[in-house]
A = this chain, B = another copy of it.
């Protein structure tokens, strides 16, 4: 939740307020219209609002907007396609939790697209919203990068299933694309964990606790974005709505499986990371123990010997041993013996 959230407090519900950072100079609208037999593509700019048509039946119409800061435009589109004000509010609010809402004449889905920035080892998020009716779909992205390029290519090729279906299948295909990208992020996270584990087993140093900490926060963040999607998918699966064709259910069920698999993987990573944290701490304890043992062995051997040396360094006038001929060598022998027996004792106690 960003600091921007609070500027909305107190506004009436349904107020369309952009709460993110503006990532795009000018809103880019890509238009596609297709059916089984033909396909037409266009790039609209945000002046040509007049070019928005109400949905028609013989085509599927897909308006893909990149950039969310122009809330007036979003409200305009909303009017043309009869989108509920609460859905419009959610489109512009980039701090939205993933959700699916069913309205009269349309289904609204909001979720997060993820990508991994390999230089900073951070996960970048982008909000993606879909609103679709029988024969139209509106998609909203925060960013200029084209998440849906591959879907567009499949539409152009035109030999697949996708051209024969309605907007519901298109919505599924777009969601599937977003979820497919999760796997890439998960792979990267897994690799990061494996690197930490390798570091930990070979040479555990100070930097590891920071890395574990950062990755943990990262996992928490990703979990927050993916977790609620399970609910979204099962809501989608149970949608009894004439916008949704019967034969799409296996696909949605498959999508749900992928989402569950992602969440499972995340939970698994968290458990593994906890294991690494424990391992790191016991590593620390163990090392400390070793250090203490060496100190103890050295100190406890030499402290009595030093005492003995100090004893015969005293300047008393009458210390008979000082004048015996071999007492120095006898004392050296005693010292060696003491050292030897103490070493054996510690050895037996397994202290080094």
Q: Identify the closest chain B residue to A172 (Cβ).
A: B13
Residue A5, interface by CB 8 Å: yes
A84 touches which one: B12, B213, B250, B311 (CB < 8 A)? B250
Residue A30, interface by CB 8 Å: no
Query: Distance (Å) between the CB of A8 and the closest chain B CB?
Result: 7
Within 8 A of B (CB), among A260-294: 260-261, 264-265, 268, 271-272, 275, 277-289, 291-294
**In the complex where A292-B292, A306-B306 touch, is A264 in contact with B317 (Cβ < 8 A)?**
no
Query: Distance (Å) between the CB of A337 and the closest chain B CB?
Result: 15
**In the complex where A292-B291, A305-B307 touch, is A251 in contact with B13 (Cβ < 8 A)?**
yes
Q: Identify the closest chain B residue to A84 (Cβ).
A: B250
A220 touches which one: B177, B186, B271, B298 (CB < 8 A)? B271
Contact between B103 and A250, CB atoms less than 8 A apart: yes
A250 touches which one: B6, B86, B260 (CB < 8 A)? B86
Q: Mark A180-210, 1 if CB is under 8 A from B, else 0.
A: 1101101100110000000001010110011
Contact between B306 and A316, CB atoms less than 8 A apart: no
Give the chain B neighbours of A176 by CB distance below 8 A. 13
**Stretch of A31-39, A44-52, A323-331 at the chain-chain interface:** A323-331
Within 8 A of B (CB), among A301-320: 302-307, 309-319
Residue A117, interface by CB 8 Å: no
Roughly how many angstroms separate A314 CA and B172 CA in the complex, as a whole number?
89
Roughly how many angstroms separate A97 CA and B262 CA in the complex, as a whole number?
10
Residue A76, interface by CB 8 Å: no
Within 8 A of B (CB), among A1-50: 1, 3, 5-6, 8-14
Residue A299, interface by CB 8 Å: yes
Contact between A184 and B86, CB atoms less than 8 A apart: no
The size bracket of the interface on A is 35 or more
Contact between A9 and B99, CB atoms less than 8 A apart: no
- Chosen A-B contacts, 16 in total, with CB atoms closer than 8 Å, are A1-B183, A8-B180, A11-B180, A13-B172, A97-B257, A97-B260, A99-B257, A101-B254, A203-B350, A217-B272, A220-B272, A220-B275, A224-B264, A277-B282, A282-B284, A313-B313
Known pairs A6-B187, A316-B322 / 17 extra A-B pairs, C-beta < 8 Å: A5-B183, A10-B177, A11-B180, A12-B154, A13-B173, A13-B254, A97-B260, A209-B286, A220-B268, A285-B288, A291-B292, A294-B296, A299-B300, A302-B307, A303-B303, A314-B328, A318-B327
Residues of A within 8 A of B (CB): 1, 3, 5-6, 8-14, 84, 86, 97, 99, 101, 103, 150, 154, 160-162, 172-173, 176-177, 180-181, 183-184, 186-187, 190-191, 201, 203, 205-206, 209-210, 213, 216-217, 220, 224, 228, 250-251, 253-254, 257, 260-261, 264-265, 268, 271-272, 275, 277-289, 291-296, 298-300, 302-307, 309-319, 321-328, 331, 350-351
Instruction: Kindly list the 9 A-B residue pairs having the minimum CB-CB distance in the complex, ordered from nearest.
Output: A309-B310, A312-B314, A10-B150, A9-B180, A313-B313, A295-B296, A316-B328, A298-B300, A302-B303
